[in-house]
Chains A and B, each alone.
Chain A
Amino acid sequence: MSSEHVDVDLTVNGEPHSVSVEPRELLSQTLRERVGCTSINIGCESTLCGACTVHADGKAVKSCTRLTVQEDGAAIQTVQSLADDGVLGELQTAFTEEHALQCGYCTPGILMAVDEYLDDNPDPSRSEIRTEALQGNLCRCTGYENIVDAIDVAANALEE
């Protein structure tokens, strides 16, 4: 059985894209394969690891668990949008200064999730960072502590 293609328009980091996709195509597949966003990483198949996290209309979502057809008209942002013309933002700077990444595979997804979290929760405790901010993301390399440190540092920096 083949399924009819559906036309979908979306913007990615401000650039418009028009695609014609099978309904079963995932947002992550469209972004990686058609738009060329290789920063979206696919670490699992069960909506757990969060390495594929992007912003859709300003909200963090796991792009592997959205059909592209669900995002018709959406404004998508990936980790590239966090830097300003190659200059790292506060959160990204904190990540490198606190050694919050090793292999880096989980990092773009964590940055996108935490970026939204800090907007709504500007002063989280370490416990809240572990149980809420990072609830939707996995890391296998760092053991998380430096990521918690980085988020803590970034939260303070952003508040100033």
Chain B
Amino acid sequence: MHAEPFDYRRAESVADAIELLESTEDGRLLAGGQALIPLLKKREAAPGTVVDIGGLDGLRGIERTGSGIRIGALVTHREITDSALVGGVVPVLPTVVSKITGGIQVHNVATMGGNIARAHPAYDYAGALLASRARVDIAGPDGERTVPAADFFRGICSTCLGTSELVTGVEIDAVDGERCGGYAKRKEPASGGAVLGVATDLVFDGGDRREVTSARLAANGLCGSAVRLTAAEDVLTGSALSDETIAAAADAAGDTLDESDVLDNKKASAEYRRALLGPYVRRSVGKAVDG
């Protein structure tokens, strides 16, 4: 209930935040605090310095770019689910974010950047970013860089961020055609995290044939970090949407999986997670299609 004492610094700018991380040995960034503060309270984390970036307005906001949208790192879950812009450009994202646990109270202050930087396997954002081909903008002492989401997430609570780097935003391109999104999540009942979550980002034409022009599926909770379900994608892309094609995609979903990568723990055995994959792919695609 009482964290260990720490020094507190409010960053005045992104550069200032980087400088503070560089100059302190064990500094941690504070955004919404919904991941960090519980760790501090239980003394599972005891940084010497906490660098508060909550005041950096430059990291807020959702804006149109030439190719799509850019979401600032401090954008809250609530802002995502409230945003008509995000919903219009990449509907899978608000669909996934709405299923993040914690309730209104957490969604009001928890941030995209904090969520993805933590990279916990049971968190939900990662699958949506992989499915929507997102790119992650990073700033650090060596300057700025952008990486595809698939390269950002490296494993259990592990990202490509260097010690003094931070996420500044995420870019997602718009796609031509009728884009829809779905998320089927099996929640772990205590923590509310994903035992398995399947995110579907789908584009299909509105004609009679309902041809799928683009299908991207990703699963979080399944492995140490989110994975694309390329075998399911291959079945769907170019096919006509029907119960049969969806079922076929569901059956194929795990074909590219390395079984040894599937998490095996008290929340669920690897065997069971693997067995859930098909049904959850079916549900996720179904939700995307049904809206």
Chain A residues close to B by CB (< 8 Å): 1-4, 6, 22-24, 26, 42, 45-47, 50, 53, 59-62, 64-67, 69-70, 113, 116-117, 132-137
Contacts and interface: CB of A to CB of B under 8 A. Distances in A.
A135 B108 contact: no
Contact of B6 (A23, A26, A70, A113): A23
5 contacts: A6-B8, A23-B5, A24-B3, A59-B109, A69-B52
Contacts of A66: 33, 37, 109
A2, A113, A117, A136 — most chain B CB neighbours (10 Å): A136
Interface in B1-23: 1-8
A113 B4 CA distance: 29
Contacts of A4: 7-8
Interface string B40-60: 111000001010101000000
B10 to A, nearest CB: 8
Contacts of A59: 78, 108-109
Interface residues of B, number: 29
Contacts of B146: none
B104 A24 contact: no
Interface of B: 1-8, 30, 33-34, 37-38, 40-42, 48, 50, 52, 54, 78, 101-106, 108-109
A116 B105 CA distance: 9
A2 B101 CA distance: 35
Contact of A67 (B30, B38, B106): B30
Contact of A136 (B6, B42, B54, B105): B105
Given A23-B5, A26-B37, A62-B106, 14 more contacts: A23-B7, A24-B4, A24-B6, A42-B1, A45-B1, A45-B38, A47-B37, A47-B38, A59-B109, A61-B105, A65-B33, A69-B8, A136-B103, A136-B106
Contacts of B38: 45-47, 65
Contact of A45 (B33, B42, B109): B42
A60 B103 CA distance: 10
B41 A1 contact: no
Contact of B41 (A26, A50, A60, A133): A26
A65 B37 contact: yes
Contacts of B50: 23
A64 B41 CA distance: 9
A64 B37 CA distance: 9
A116 B1 contact: no
Contacts of A136: 102-106
A111 to B, nearest CB: 13
Contacts of A50: 103, 105
B102 A23 contact: no
B7, B37, B50, B78 — most chain A CB neighbours (10 Å): B37
B197 to A, nearest CB: 16
* 3 A-B pairs with the lowest CB-CB distances in the bound complex, closest first: A136-B103, A23-B8, A135-B103
B5 A24 contact: yes
A60 B40 contact: no
A113 B104 CA distance: 7
B105 A53 contact: yes
B112 to A, nearest CB: 17
A113 to B, nearest CB: 6
